[in-house]
Amino acid sequence: IGMGLVSFGLFFILFGMLLYFDSVLLAFGNILFLSGLVFIIGFRRTFTFFFQRPKLKGTSFFFGGVLIVLMRWPLLGMLLEAYGFITLFR
């Protein structure tokens, strides 16, 4: 279930970017991706991964970008998410 949710999430994010940053598709993709991540590694591990002290900057940018996309500013939200994603996984 988790791999399917992550796959559909990435598909919707990619499809939303191909359709000139459609905010509904991007928001749906973000929600599916995050819920799939919780299904794959569990709620506790997901929470501890995102909220470690050295990763708080990346987490705040990533979730801030998700929130901005949900508020229908998709280009700015995706830029913030991308910066947060790079900061989280470097």
How far lies 55's CA from each of 5, 32, 52, 61, 88, in Å?
A: 24, 22, 5, 10, 6
| Residue of 52, 54, 59, 55 lying closest to 80 (CA atoms) | 59
Decide if 46 contacts 52 (C-beta within 8 A): no
Answer yes or no: do 22 and 40 share one domain.
Answer: yes
For residues 37 and 67, membership in a common domain is answered with no
Give the pLDDT of the chain (90 residues) as one tens digit per residue.
Answer: 999 999 999 999 999 999 999 999 999 999 999 999 999 999 999 999 999 999 999 999 999 999 999 999 999 999 999 999 999 988
pLDDT at position 90: 87
Provide the greatest CA pair distance for the chain.
Answer: 36
5 and 42 assigned to the same domain: yes
Q: How many domains does the chain have?
A: 2
Residue 59 and residue 35 share a domain? no
CB 43 within 8 A of CB 37: no
Structural domain of residue 39, as residue ranges? 1-49
Task: Mark whether 25 and 69 lie in a shared domain.
Answer: no
